[in-house]
């Protein structure tokens, strides 16, 4: 008795073609979880910028930010901190105090910006 695949050569050809198409189709896909080095580096830089922005918004000094995030890129942290500082000054946004131990530098920085705003309002 012959197997069904040998009796139907058209079915066998269709099955082989489908397998070939499936293999070639999956070869071009980026499978989730398999990032290349550039994607990993870009994600780390974006995370570091977000950390810097968060530190500035929560009135933490850049030094505290570096100290609390030793694995993050210091250049990207500074870039994020600086961008958030410019944005907050432009939009007159008050920082949200960190509900932990605030550093003296952060408190002085916020006091200085508040005094400058008050002086600008008087003129």
For the chain, give every domain's residue range.
Answer: 37-122
Which pLDDT score is estimated for 58? Answer: 93
* Max Cα-Cα span within the chain: 102
Which pLDDT score is estimated for 57? Answer: 94
Which pLDDT score is estimated for 85? Answer: 95
pLDDT in tens, the chain (123 residues): 455 556 667 777 788 877 777 776 666 666 666 778 888 899 999 999 999 999 999 999 999 999 999 999 999 999 999 999 999 999 999 999 877 655 565 556 656 665 655 655 555
Whole-number Å distance between alpha carbons of 94 and 57: 8
Whole-number Å distance between alpha carbons of 20 and 30: 18
Residue (of 12, 16, 41, 122) closest to 49 by Cα position: 41
């Amino acid at each position: 008795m012959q197997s069904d695949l040998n009796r139907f050569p058209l079915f066998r050809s269709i099955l082989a073609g489908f397998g070939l198409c499936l293999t070639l189709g999956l070869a071009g896909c980026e499978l989730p979880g398999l990032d290349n080095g550039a994607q990993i580096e870009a994600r780390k830089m974006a995370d570091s910028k977000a950390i810097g922005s968060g530190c500035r918004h929560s009135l933490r000094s850049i030094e505290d930010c570096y100290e609390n995030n030793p694995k993050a890129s210091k250049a990207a942290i500074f870039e994020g901190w600086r961008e958030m500082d410019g944005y907050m000054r432009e939009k007159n946004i008050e920082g949200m105090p960190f509900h932990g131990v605030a550093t003296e530098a952060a408190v002085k920085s916020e006091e200085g910006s508040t005094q400058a705003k008050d002086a600008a309002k008087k003129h």
